[in-house]
Amino acid sequence: MRIVLLGPPGAGKGTQATRLANHFQCPHVSTGDIFRANVAEGTPLGQTAKEYVDRGDLVPDEVVIAMVMERLGAPDCESGFLLDGFPRTVAQAEALDRRLADMDTPLHVVLCFEADDDELFRRLAGRSAQLGRSDDGEATIRHRLEVYASKTRPLVDYYMHRGLLDLVDAVGQVEDITVRILEVLRVAGYRRNGNGHRRPGLTRAAWSGRIHAPRTAR
């Protein structure tokens, strides 16, 4: 499976990605984790990324895109991957599309995690107390939620128009949310024929929603 997890900070993408990667035995590619590891090691990439990560801003597209394209070229990504935190801008999504089209390995599904801002803020503030992440201060949390709304939320439309988007209610127990996601993926499996091409007989409307409609319903 080639899956993108989309959603605001604090929605639980990382937690679910770890569980799903384990379930599907595929690599979990988290751009946030890669940046944090590079910052901790003081690599040139980490030095470039640090100021953006600490401020809660997005690392420039060209830096992120180059990093992810290199990661996706690794042998362990050949049979699938779970992208967590990428893409976050339309330019990143377009770069990913181009790359996957070149390889004839399109995405199967984009899961968009949904939770309201109060819930997200509460979770992020809780995580700040627990983990002490450099970007989990109150003002930075607010800023990251704003950055999500302005730069990343447009990807909901982007992927909806491509018939790839499924929404996931990200509020509840971790285990219950995993069950929800697996069910969404099971249904998405019906819409996809395994190699990522649209199944014949389904309309565009049927692809972008949850309904299955015969071709004659167009």
Which residues of this protein are in contact with ligand AMP, per CB under 6 A?
9, 31-32, 35, 52-53, 56-59, 64, 85-88, 92, 135, 144
Least CB distance to ligand AMP at residue 204 (A) = 28
Least CB distance to ligand AMP at residue 200 (A) = 34
Between CA 87 and CA 79 the distance in angstroms is 19
Q: Choose, from 133, 162, 180, 198, the residue flagged as catalytic.
A: 133
Active site residue 19: no
Least CB distance to ligand AMP at residue 14 (A) = 7
Give me 136's structure tokens: 């989990």
* Between 71 and 198, CB nearer to ligand AMP: 71
Active site residue 180: no
Between CA 58 and CA 47 the distance in angstroms is 14
**What is the residue-wise DSSP string for 86-135?**
---SHHHHHHHHHHHHHTT----EEEEEE--HHHHHHHHHHHHHHH--TT
Q: Please answer whether residues 85 and 141 qualify as being in contact, where contact means their C-beta atoms are separated by less than 8 angstroms.
A: no
Beta-bridge partners for 3: 82, 109
* Between 107 and 202, CB nearer to ligand AMP: 107
Active site residue 133: yes
What is the SS3 assignment for 165?
Answer: strand
Q: Please answer whether residues 59 and 35 qualify as being in contact, where contact means their C-beta atoms are separated by less than 8 angstroms.
A: yes
Least CB distance to ligand AMP at residue 188 (A) = 23
Active site residue 50: no
Q: Choose, from 88, 123, 191, 192, the residue flagged as catalytic.
A: 88
* Between 38 and 105, CB nearer to ligand AMP: 38
Q: What is the CA radius of gyration of the chain?
A: 17
* Between 15 and 208, CB nearer to ligand AMP: 15
By beta-carbon distance, which residue lies closest to ligand AMP? 32
Beta-bridge partners for 110: 4, 165
* Between 23 and 133, CB nearer to ligand AMP: 133
Q: Please answer whether residues 160 and 154 qualify as being in contact, where contact means their C-beta atoms are separated by less than 8 angstroms.
A: no
Least CB distance to ligand AMP at residue 65 (A) = 9
Active site residue 13: yes
- State the catalytic residues: 13, 88, 127, 133, 144
